Structure 1
Amino acid sequence: MMSDSRLWELLARKYNGEISGEELDELEQLLRQQQHGIQLNELLTDLHNLPIRHMTSAADEARSREAVQKALRNSIFNTNHATVEENQEYLLKENERSFSGWLSAAIVAASAILLFFYFRQDKPEKTLVSKDAMPVNEVVTNGGSKSTVHLPDGSLVILNTGSRLVYNKDFGAETRDVYLTGEGFFDVAHNENIPLIVHAGDVDIKVKGTAFNVRAYTEDSIVEAALIRGSIEVFTQADPERKILLRPNEKIIIGKSSVISSAKKEDKQESNKEEVFSLGKLKANPVDSTIAEIAWIENKLAFYKEPFETLAKKMERWYNVSIEFNDEKLNQLTFTGSFEKEDIVEALNALRQITPFQYSIRNRKVTISRNK
């Protein structure tokens, strides 16, 4: 029973893009041990590719749950060699009780997992729509890895660790829409008639041909766009008429006021209901001229006057560890520098040369505390 519970937990984390490399290995082992787990994994893969739309009522949620259940039934019985009725009759005759029970459990559990993870995000709630909608391509990078994606229009996307990119299979025919969770560097092929739009959480970024970086990790609760070349138009889904145009070497951070409290004093802030727009310039590291926002492309973790709290989040993804502070005052310490080949111990020791602190590491968990 414990292994079944863990299987569902890992499947849920996988299809929400939150699974770590170690958890992915554990999931693969559980799937090898349990045959029904392999079938459920295939079903969830199909369901995960269903497009989503805005959920506005309890009726929408009910329709969503019904769509999930219908998709599950169709996926279970639909093959290339037999009709639905033939499959159903064969499977029920062979083991009527166990299959019927497994189907019910699969529908309940898969529905609960998909609905929970689609609706719990800190963004406008969304729900599943018809299975007949446009199929999509999806690229996911696990912890500690990066991926390069060549889009059909000639655009290039480099995905940082722990990121996911989704786009329609007819990308470029009439629209160029991509959906990003995590971080990606975009070098977009110019097309005056069909702009490319990056959907990152509640923020949309519209371009026609340019190079820029977008960081939109769910756990960060912010979206940051940094422009290298060309121009981009940034707006939120809550206020699409309010557009902000960025020029080269400018960046924008969009989030809640409490999240952007560490924005630099010289940055210009504008409030928009609960959202805050923090505008600033890209600054090169005075030591090696590295631009922190895009240094990861060259396998460098760079930071410029970065609060320890936000630097720690980057280090968590970079080194595949978790970091916690025992003293909140440590969060606001600022650091400037870069890591390239250093491991987590070497990186922490280098930071301690700037501002003394203590740390301990156990089972990939780093605990940072003040010097005694």
Structure 2
Amino acid sequence: MEREQLISKWFNNELNDQELEAFKKLEDYNDLIQLNQALQTFKSEEYDTAEALDQVLNTINSSKKETGSWTKYIIRIAAVLAICFSLYYYTTTLDTTYTTDISEKTYVELPDQSTVNLNTKSTLVFNKSDWKKEREVNLSGEAFFKVAKGSSFHVKTKTGIVTVYGTQFNVKQREQFFEVICYEGLVGVTYNSQETKLKPGDRFLILDGKFIANEKEKNLEPSWLNDESTFKSLPYKQVITEFERQYGITINLVNIDENQLFTGSFTHTNLDVALKSITVPLHINYSKTNNTITLKGE
């Protein structure tokens, strides 16, 4: 039996026992009883049952609409809150990434006031939400770190891991090149599952998969912080790669041994001066065409 028929028969006291049980199972049974009691107060001898029934049904339908409207509203609020919570969780657990382009450097302050100077064409990644639990960054490229004292601090690269407790050091990880220089404090470098401890001035270098012994570093900070790249007995191809990275140009070598060792530096602020710095000592000629430079040996 339809709901409206049950209500009509109940209102006219025409329900049998089976119908009465069905009526009591209606979801708005209590509302109907309360409405009926309220209507009894206004009944008179000329009471119109049909009209009363219409009033009750209209009231109930109106009530159901409002209830449905409120239900939809609450569902919408719940959905919005769920989305907000999801966004909050997502953004607070998301990694923070800093990336520098050609000829670009940037300064990064970590959650514990440790600082990082990121050299050109480099990427630094860390997670703020996990920082108190674990001070850890991932580095691709080159960066100079000043680490605040505290729990162990890890710099992860695809070549090796650097661990410190409060110090200043530089990490450079490029293709077939991995270098760590300690300027202050104590640094541990893990490479091929073996850790090497570096004291101020010590330098750890892996070149083409081989460990290279180096003399002590005398500078108090890496030269690139002052817009200059410095090399000590490194293959010329490493100089050229860094030059291309700093100036955003392409260099072609003609009749030049790219594995010959080079000691020297070049500035990041003047292309012509920089070119002379890397060519004159080796008696190399150069020519420029747009963004391409050709270096030619004698």
TM-score of the two chains, using structure 2 as the length reference? 0.64
Residue 173 (structure 1) shift: 1.4
Task: Verify the 8 A CA contact 1:301 1:318 in the aligned structure 2.
Answer: no
User: Structure 1 residues 133, 203: closer, same or farther in 2, change over 3 A?
Assistant: farther
Match of 1:363 in 2: 290
Give the whole-Å Cα distance in 2 for the aligned partners of 1:330 and 1:141.
27
Give the whole-Å Cα distance in 1 for the aligned partners of 2:261 and 2:171.
25
For structure 1, list consecutive stretches of 5 or more residues without a partner in the other structure: 1-79, 85-130, 260-274, 285-289
Match of 1:147 in 2: 106
Residue 309 (structure 1) shift: 1.6
Match of 2:180 in 1: 225
Match of 1:309 in 2: 237
Residue 313 (structure 1) shift: 1.3
Does 2:210 match 1:281?
no
**AA matched with 1:229:** E
Q: What's the secondary structure of 1:329's corresponding residue?
A: coil
**AA matched with 2:164:** V
Match of 2:161 in 1: 204
Residue 279 (structure 1) shift: 3.6
Q: Which residues of 2 match residues 89-100 of structure 1 at below 5 A? A: none
Q: Which residues of 2 match residues 238-317 of structure 1 at below 5 A? A: 239-240=192-193, 242-255=194-207, 259=208, 275-284=209-218, 294-317=222-245
Residue 314 (structure 1) shift: 1.4
Match of 1:167 in 2: 126
Q: What's the secondary structure of 2:257's corresponding residue?
A: helix
Q: What's the secondary structure of 2:163's corresponding residue?
A: strand
Residue 331 (structure 1) shift: 4.1
User: Structure 1 residues 227, 362: closer, same or farther in 2, change over 3 A?
Assistant: same
Q: Percent identity among equivalent residues?
A: 26
1:149-172 CA-partner distances (Å, limit 9, x unpaired) = 100011000000111100012243
**AA matched with 1:178:** V
Residue 254 (structure 1) shift: 2.5
User: Structure 1 residues 170, 81: closer, same or farther in 2, change over 3 A?
Assistant: closer
**AA matched with 2:112:** D
Residue 215 (structure 1) shift: 0.4
Task: Verify the 8 A CA contact 1:325 1:331 in the aligned structure 2.
Answer: no
Task: Verify the 8 A CA contact 1:143 1:320 in the aligned structure 2.
Answer: yes
Query: Radius of gyration: which is bigger?
Result: 2
1:262-313 CA-partner distances (Å, limit 9, x unpaired) = xxxxxxxxxxxxx4333423344xxxxx57x710111222333443221111
Correspondence for 1:216 among 140, 151, 173? 173
User: Structure 1 residues 351, 136: closer, same or farther in 2, change over 3 A?
Assistant: closer
Match of 1:42 in 2: none
Give the whole-Å Cα distance in 2 for the aligned partners of 1:248 and 1:188.
14
Give the whole-Å Cα distance in 2 for the aligned partners of 1:202 and 1:355.
31
Correspondence for 1:353 among 267, 280, 286? 280
Give the whole-Å Cα distance in 1 for the aligned partners of 2:99 and 2:265.
29
**What RMSD, in angstroms, separates the aligned Cα atoms of the two structures?**
2.7
Task: Verify the 8 A CA contact 1:146 1:158 in the aligned structure 2.
Answer: yes
Q: Which residues of 2 match residues 26-65 of structure 1 at below 5 A? A: none
Q: What's the secondary structure of 2:148's corresponding residue?
A: coil
Task: Verify the 8 A CA contact 2:155 2:162 in the aligned structure 1.
Answer: yes
For structure 2, list consecutive stretches of 5 or more residues without a partner in the other structure: 1-78, 84-89
User: Structure 1 residues 234, 333: closer, same or farther in 2, change over 3 A?
Assistant: closer
**AA matched with 2:197:** L
TM-score of the two chains, using structure 1 as the length reference? 0.52
Match of 1:70 in 2: none
Give the whole-Å Cα distance in 2 for the aligned partners of 1:222 and 1:352.
22
**AA matched with 1:159:** L
